[in-house]
């Protein structure tokens, strides 16, 4: 958008000047505008299409509270008056600009490809608030796949400590885009996705909330979470998210018509962030792609994170694991060892307590899992419910809920680790914090040290229930600080972290690659909590996975939970639909979540889980449409094998997949796992066919997926 065009537009404040920043390929153009009132704004075009109309940049800051001790109004004590909030959205002048370009290629420790290109043009606009000399810079980076910008507050200026009332950033969508969204929430990300226009969000909001999120903190029927995937009427794929969320509150988006406004997670007092100069905000990202497949290939969020901060990464590695987990989730077993209503860790004597007989993390059961995992080429076994305290945990307001070091009497931590190690398996530690976060931090050093002692090198942590102290939220600055603390402390112990219920990832795994996984979305467990509609795994790679890998815990082979353990929920996926996820849901941490018994009945299908790689040198996004379908091919980082996966929603879909990604002049043994023609995820989910053939890059595979189904193919180089 040119300055002339802008000035002609009535709905936009009159600008006194503008600066353009284009992407290296020239396709994306960001225009920075300073309005006559000194308000910084920006717009974004892709070729001749307006993606974002001019939108506000800046903050509403808390007015300084004068610490005047007391205020009496008559004889009544009142809180000291707040000085009115301070608008940091206008009154600025430009005191300088800087431009730069960068084109570098970096190698992730693990990832969807072995090297990533980071190529952008940069503009730094230095602003001075005329009235008081306070300084705020805005740094823009324009990539071929979109725009990133952040606020920077330089050192040595009148602004030192400040409190954010709200970030005023607007994403002023040019059109009433189609959006795939989940409700904004300060404490849960575990929702199924809605698909509406931006203006249609409020009308559909209620329908897309759910009853599972006990600590749900919704606040507006027009507020949604990022990463928000959209599609413009022109067919552009536009995604809004953030990158490098460090010491700041997580951003939500409030839809005001087709305009989206930032909405940060508040603290217990309603404030949005407490900052000190010099500091920077997370990057606000606007990815733009001409196709869904291009959007999936974007690494903009990772590129906007800092390079790896760890000197030694030799101890970090992808993990394929099983878990003593699904049987508890489904209800066939328990985490807790006794049925005592109240357990005080310092006083309760587990050695004389009556076991409830349903404790899954017992020696015999764990050995059974170790045997199966070891026999099938797995690296690791997660065991939940191994430590005392599970009798009462989330939402009990209980501070000292776990100690993270004391096993239940029937879990011999020494013997089980010894047994596992003798078979080439590592146990994966589990630290459910029950959101009693201070308690976790108090025990963290000892807990990590215990892991080192017994040879655990990965921990699944959890944050179920209301944050203690009550009033803080899962996605506020206070907690975001904690999650990163847990990761950096873990790194000192050479421990990899997979944090559940933590804030959605924003690419921090580039900087801290020991953060090998997060949940931060509705995962497989909800198949046992009422079921998940097909299509969910076809939207997650656009949204949740945009910021980093998810521990989705795929691989459920027994969909009929009722028959197994009386659970009325049904797993809405075919076996092949589950196999596909190991390719389509990228993660360096992949679980085979079902039980040895269930896998034993389908060992031919299970072979794919044994074979599939978990680290990649190359990824190809062949067919994709959000929430509809995905077909993705990836090349193993450690061999010449390729793997192909496809998932679909409720529709039967057939794709003709050209194998032109294979190496020229080479033959491959293809093993094709596909839904039987009469399969479907509800009535006949276990019907599949396995075919083998020799193929090369000239070949095509015709692959059909039934409703809730999928396919998986391994290509072994001959």
Does the footprint of a second copy cover residue 449 (CB under 8 A)? Answer: no
Residue 267 near a second copy by CB under 8 A: yes
- Please give the DSSP secondary-structure letter assigned to residue 354: P
471 binds a second copy (CB under 8 A): yes
Tell whether residue 392 is a contact of a second copy (CB under 8 A): yes
Q: How far is the CB of 65 from a second copy (least distance, A)?
A: 9
213 near a second copy (CB under 8 A): yes
* Contact flags string 33-72 toward a second copy, x per CB under 8 A: ----------------------------------xxxx-x
Choose the binding region for a second copy from 211-219, 290-298, 636-644, 683-691 (rule: CB under 8 A): 211-219
CB of 277 to a second copy, least distance (A): 6
Q: Are 133 and 14 in contact (CB under 8 A)?
A: no
C-beta atoms surrounding 332 within 10 Å:
17
- Give the one residue of 212, 454, 529, 661 binding a second copy; rule: CB under 8 A: 212
Shortest CB 219 distance to a second copy, Å: 7
Residues 6+ apart with CB under 8 A from 17: 3, 33, 34, 94
> Length of the chain, please?
718
- For the bound state, the minimum distance from the C-beta of residue 218 to a second copy, rounded and expressed in Å, comes to 5
β-pair type (237-243, 319-324) = unpaired
Which DSSP helix (H) or strand (E) runs through 605? helix 603-611
Q: Which stretch, 28-36, 234-242, 337-345, 547-555, contacts a second copy (CB under 8 A)?
A: 337-345
As given in the structure block, the two tokens for residue 485 are 């603390």
438 forms part of the interface with a second copy (CB under 8 A): yes
Nearest Cα residue to 372 out of 552, 594, 82: 594
Of the candidates 476, 451, 454, the one whose C-alpha atom is nearest the C-alpha of residue 466 is 476
Residue-wise burial string across 656-682, b where 16 or more C-beta atoms lie within 10 A, e elsewhere: ebebebbeeeebbebbbbbbbeebbbb
Site for a second copy in 4-33 (CB under 8 A): none
The active-site residue out of 327, 525, 563, 597 is 525
530 lines the binding site for a second copy (CB under 8 A): no
With contacts defined by CB under 8 A, name the span among 478-486, 597-605, 650-658, 665-673 that binds a second copy. Answer: 478-486
The H or E element that residue 204 is part of is helix 201-205
Helix (H, G, I), strand (E, B) or coil at 351: helix
Q: Which of residues 272-291 bind a second copy (CB under 8 A)?
A: 274, 276-278
Per CB under 8 A, 396 contacts a second copy:
yes
Q: Label residues 100-135 b or e (16+ Cβ within 10 Å = b).
A: eeeeeeeebbbbbbeebebbbbbbebbbbbeeeebb
525 is known as an active-site residue:
yes
Count of C-beta atoms within a 10 Å radius of residue 377:
11
CB 564 within 8 A of CB 330: yes
- Give the interface segment with a second copy, choosing from 15-23, 93-101, 255-263, 393-401 (CB under 8 A): 393-401
- Binds a second copy by CB under 8 A, chosen from 42, 478, 552, 715: 478
Whole-number minimum distance, CB 446 to a second copy, in Å?
A: 9
**How many Cα atoms are found within 13 Å in the side-chain-facing hemisphere of 657?**
31
Does 410 interact with a second copy (rule: CB under 8 A)?
Answer: no
- In which order are the strands placed within the sheet that holds 86-88? 86-88, 59-61, 161-167, 273-276
Report helix, strand and coil shares of the chain as percent, to nearest 5: 20, 35, 45
Examine residue 235 and tell whether it contacts a second copy (CB under 8 A).
Answer: no
Please report, as residue ranges, which positions from 143 to 162 form the binding site for a second copy (by CB under 8 A): 155-156, 160-161
Bridge partners of 195, per DSSP, are 180
- CB nearer to a second copy: give 59 or 411: 59
Instruction: Count residues near a second copy (CB under 8 A).
Output: 57
Strand order in the sheet with 223-225: 15-22, 28-35, 40-46, 49-56, 170-173, 259-264, 251-256, 223-225
Q: In what order do the strands lie in the sheet with 426-432?
A: 515-518, 496-499, 458-462, 426-432, 380-383, 319-324, 589-592
Cβ nearer to a second copy, comparing 205 with 378: 205
Distances from the Cα of 228 to the Cαs of 254, 282, 434, in angstroms? 11, 16, 28
Q: Are strands 426-432 and 653-658 parallel, antiparallel or unpaired?
A: unpaired
Question: Can residue 100 be called a binding residue for a second copy (CB under 8 A)?
Answer: no
Between residues 392 and 699, which has the closer beta carbon with respect to a second copy? Answer: 392
State yes or no: residue 470 binds a second copy (CB under 8 A). yes
Q: Is 399 in the site for a second copy (CB under 8 A)?
A: yes
Residues 67-96 that bind a second copy (CB under 8 A): 67-70, 72, 75-77
Q: Which range touches a second copy (CB under 8 A), out of 215-223, 248-256, 302-310, 543-551? A: 215-223
Q: Which residue lies nearer to a second copy by CB, 8 or 161?
A: 161
221 binds a second copy (CB under 8 A): yes
Residue 629 is encoded by which pair of tokens? 């379908």
Residue 426 or 482: the one with the smaller Cβ distance to a second copy is 482
Query: Which segment (219-227, 250-258, 565-573, 653-661) binds a second copy by CB under 8 A?
Result: 219-227
- Is position 441 an interface residue for a second copy (rule: CB under 8 A)? yes
Residue selected from 481, 600, 654, 698 as contacting a second copy according to rule CB under 8 A = 481
680: which DSSP letter? B
393 binds a second copy (CB under 8 A): no
* Residue among 220, 225, 236 at smallest CA distance from 193: 225
Between 117 and 344, whose beta carbon lies closer to a second copy? 344
Q: Which stretch binds a second copy (CB under 8 A): 28-36, 217-225, 410-418, 512-520?
A: 217-225
Q: What is the CA angle 589-594-595, rounded to 5? A: 120
Strand partners of residue 238 = 230, 288
Residue 461 makes contact with a second copy by CB under 8 A: no
Question: Any contact of residue 620 with a second copy (CB under 8 A)?
Answer: no
Q: Is 215 in the site for a second copy (CB under 8 A)?
A: yes
Q: Which is nearer to a second copy, 274 or 610 (CB)?
A: 274
Considering the complex, state which of residue 8 and residue 470 has its C-beta at the smaller distance from a second copy. Answer: 470
Of 122, 118, 146, 138, which is closest to residue 45 (Cα–Cα)?
Answer: 146
Per CB under 8 A, the segment of 373-381, 470-478, 631-639, 649-657 that binds a second copy is 470-478
The residues carrying an active-site annotation are 525
Residues at the site binding a second copy, with contacts judged by CB under 8 A: 67-70, 72, 75-77, 155-156, 160-161, 163, 202, 205-206, 209-216, 218-221, 247, 267-269, 271, 274, 276-278, 341-342, 344, 392, 395-399, 438, 441-442, 445, 469-472, 478, 481, 485
């Amino acid at each position: 958008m040119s300055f002339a065009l802008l000035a002609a537009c009535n709905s936009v404040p009159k600008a006194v000047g503008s600066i353009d920043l284009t992407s290296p390929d020239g396709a994306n153009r960001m225009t920075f505008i300073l309005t006559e009132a000194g308000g910084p704004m920006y717009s974004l075009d892709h070729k001749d299409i307006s993606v974002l109309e001019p939108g506000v940049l800046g903050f509403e800051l808390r007015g300084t509270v004068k610490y005047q001790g007391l205020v009496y109004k008559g004889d009544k004590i009142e809180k000291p008056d707040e000085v009115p909030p301070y608008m940091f959205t206008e009154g600025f002048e430009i005191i300088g600009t800087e431009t730069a370009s960068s084109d570098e290629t970096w190698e992730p420790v693990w990832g969807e490809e072995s090297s990533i290109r980071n190529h952008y043009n940069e503009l730094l606009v230095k602003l001075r608030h005329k009235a008081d000399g306070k300084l705020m810079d805005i740094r823009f980076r324009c990539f071929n796949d979109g725009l990133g910008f952040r606020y920077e507050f330089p050192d040595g200026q009148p602004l030192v400590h400040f409190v954010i009332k709200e970030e005023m950033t607007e994403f002023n969508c040019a059109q009433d885009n189609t959006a795939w969204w989940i409700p904004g929430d300060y404490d849960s990300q575990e929702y199924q996705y809605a698909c509406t226009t931006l203006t249609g969000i409020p009308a559909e909001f209620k329908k897309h909330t759910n009853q599972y999120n006990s600590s749900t903190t919704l606040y507006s029927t027009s507020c949604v979470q990022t990463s928000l995937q959209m599609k413009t009427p022109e067919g552009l794929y536009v995604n809004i998210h953030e990158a490098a969320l460090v010491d700041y509150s997580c951003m939500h988006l409030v839809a005001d018509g087709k305009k989206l406004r930032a909405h940060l997670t508040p603290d217990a007092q309603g404030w949005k962030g407490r900052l000190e100069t010099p500091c920077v905000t997370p990057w606000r990202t606007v990815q733009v792609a001409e196709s869904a497949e291009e959007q999936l290939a974007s690494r903009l969020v990772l590129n906007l994170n800092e390079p790896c901060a760890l000197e030694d990464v030799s101890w970090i590695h992808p993990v394929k694991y099983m878990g003593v987990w699904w049987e508890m989730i489904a209800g066939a077993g328990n985490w807790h060892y006794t049925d005592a209503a109240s357990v005080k860790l310092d006083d309760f004597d587990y050695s004389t307590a009556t076991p409830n007989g349903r404790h899954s993390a017992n020696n015999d059961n764990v050995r059974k899992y170790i045997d199966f995992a070891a026999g099938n080429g797995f690296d690791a076994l997660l065991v939940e419910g191994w430590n005392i305290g599970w009798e009462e945990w989330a939402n009990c307001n209980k501070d000292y809920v776990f100690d993270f070091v004391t096993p239940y009497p029937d879990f011999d931590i020494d013997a089980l680790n010894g047994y596992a190690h003798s078979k080439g398996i590592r146990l994966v530690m589990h630290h459910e914090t029950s959101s009693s976060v201070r308690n976790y931090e108090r025990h963290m050093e000892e807990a990590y040290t215990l892991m080192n002692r017994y040879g655990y090198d990965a921990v699944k942590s959890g944050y179920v229930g209301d944050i203690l102290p009550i009033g803080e939220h899962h996605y506020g600055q206070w907690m975001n600080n904690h999650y990163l603390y847990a990761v950096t402390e873990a790194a000192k112990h050479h421990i990899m972290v997979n944090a559940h219920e933590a804030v959605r990832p924003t690419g921090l795994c580039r900087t801290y690659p020991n953060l090998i996984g997060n949940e931060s979305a509705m995962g497989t467990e909800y198949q046992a909590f009422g079921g998940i509609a097909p299509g969910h795994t076809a939207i997650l790679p656009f949204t949740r996975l945009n910021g980093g890998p998810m521990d989705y815990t795929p691989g459920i082979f027994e969909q009929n939970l009722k028959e197994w353990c009386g659970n009325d929920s049904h797993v809405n996926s075919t076996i092949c639909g589950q196999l596909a996820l190991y390719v389509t849901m990228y993660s360096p941490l992949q679980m085979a979540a079902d039980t040895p018994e269930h896998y034993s009945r389908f060992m031919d299908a299970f072979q794919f889980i044994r074979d599939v790689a978990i680290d990649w040198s190359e990824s190809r996004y062949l067919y994709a449409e959000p929430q509809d379908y995905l077909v993705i091919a990836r090349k193993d980082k450690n061999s010449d094998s390729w793997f192909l996966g496809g998932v679909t929603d409720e529709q039967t879909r057939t794709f003709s997949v050209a194998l032109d990604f294979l190496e020229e002049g080479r033959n491959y043994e293809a093993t094709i796992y596909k839904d039987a023609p009469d399969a479907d995820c509800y009535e006949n989910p276990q019907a599949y066919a396995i075919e083998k053939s020799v193929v090369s890059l000239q070949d095509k595979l015709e692959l059909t997926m039934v409703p809730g189904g999928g396919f998986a193919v391994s290509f072994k180089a001959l």
